[in-house]
Amino acid sequence: MNIPTSLLYTKEHEWIKLVGNQGMIGITDYAQAALGDVTFVELPKVGDELRQFETFATIESVKAVSDVYAPMSGKVVKVNERLETNPELINQSPYEEGWLAVIEIADESEKDNLMTAEEYRKYLEEEA
């Protein structure tokens, strides 16, 4: 299971990559494997205000519909439009090309509610 050390993680299997006052969001390798082939992604709009741990996107696989939760609060500044026609990027490259959105971080202290890679790995082991 690929869990990059440079990211922070949620219990719902989302990741966030913090760069300056922005954060890039996606779902983890574990999440994409559990979902199976992703066939459709409903993304937020640029300008939408996300709130930590609230739903902001929907991912559909052949078998299921899953909500995606925001790792941190903030305004959406960019969404990954390639996912509209190539949702399989989430399976192929969950941490790179399969990113979902970039937000402007509203409250940096919220990152204390997230897990480090090490903590997320342990969390997955406990879940299993």
Partner 1 sequence: MELKATPLFERHKALKAKLAPFAGWLMPIQYTSILEEHHWTRTHCSLFDTCHMGEILIYGRPEESGLDRLVSMNLKQMPVGKCSYGFMLNEDGGIMDDLIVYKLAEDKWMLVVNAGPLAKDEAHLKTHIKTKVENISDTTAKLDLQGPLSREILKQWVGEEIGRLKYYHFAFFSLLGEEVLISRTGYTGELGFEFYIKAEKAKALWDLFLSDGRVRPAGLGARDTLRLEMGYPLYGQDITEETTPLEAGLGRFVDFEKDFIGRKVLLRQREEGIKRKLVGFVTNSRRAPRHGYKIYVEGKEVGFVTSGTFSPSLSCGIGMGYVEIEYAKTDQALLIRQDRIEIEARIRKRPFYKGGSLQT
Tell me the sheet residues that pair with 69: 55
CA 122/CA 124 separation, integer angstroms:
5
- For partner 1, the binding residues (CB under 8 A) are 36-37, 39-40, 42, 58, 60, 62-63, 65, 87-88, 91
24 or 61: CB nearest partner 1:
61
Provide the minimum distance between the beta carbon of 59 and partner 1 in the complex, in angstroms, as a whole number: 11
Coil, strand, or helix at residue 83? Answer: helix
37 or 96: CB nearest partner 1:
37
Provide the minimum distance between the beta carbon of 37 and partner 1 in the complex, in angstroms, as a whole number: 4
Helices and strands counted in the chain (H then E):
4, 9
CA 62/CA 54 separation, integer angstroms:
24
67 or 107: CB nearest partner 1:
67
